[in-house]
Structure 1
């Protein structure tokens, strides 16, 4: 019994150690996709930004112009982002969510959670929702 418990504990430790680098790789890849989409919006390249959206988002909006219009009207801080900072990557509501803090043109901070999904081995943005802005102490 003691040997089984020790083997189970060792297996869990090894599994977590091996998962750490994979999570870090996903973290970097996810941040890269979000940053590239934000850069595309900032450059006015809606076609490029569209390419980072999941197939479901693309089906929902039908074309890059409709998608761009929705982002410009509904997410102006994403359309013309100022400072961008990445928060935690977490699992909730059946999905993988990356928190992003974006400063808008007036200097206000907005917290957004990007739902991410893998499509053919690449990360794509499957949705964005607003989140409470974390409190920062001086």
Structure 2
């Protein structure tokens, strides 16, 4: 901020200098804010109805690939999404598998964002289509 540019320096040089002095070029502000949100570093900047980083990671498997998954993989995915949403898992097997997750806060899936509930519906539909045994 106390630094000045000599005449003839390019805009890129100005951006580098300003970045080192603490000012972030406008073109980078959105990128940096988005990265901070994904990393969970700035929750106060997140919109009210935003998925957590854990939920985003749990849901990174695209529904189009569910047909290629085994029953075990689909069960694990369902439990992973529930645990990331801080839903209390109903089976001892699920609790053991996700014992390192954040503590659960509810048995009711209604606390999950609609996007998460729809994703879980897709996982469960794939399990039914494969005739997987109940969890």
User: TM exceeds 0.5?
Assistant: no
Mark the structure with the bigger radius of gyration: 2
TM-score with structure 2 setting the length:
0.28
Give the strand-richer structure, 1 or 2. Answer: 1
Give the helix-richer structure, 1 or 2. Answer: 2
Larger relative contact order (C-alpha < 8 A, sep ≥ 6)? 2
TM-score with structure 1 setting the length:
0.27
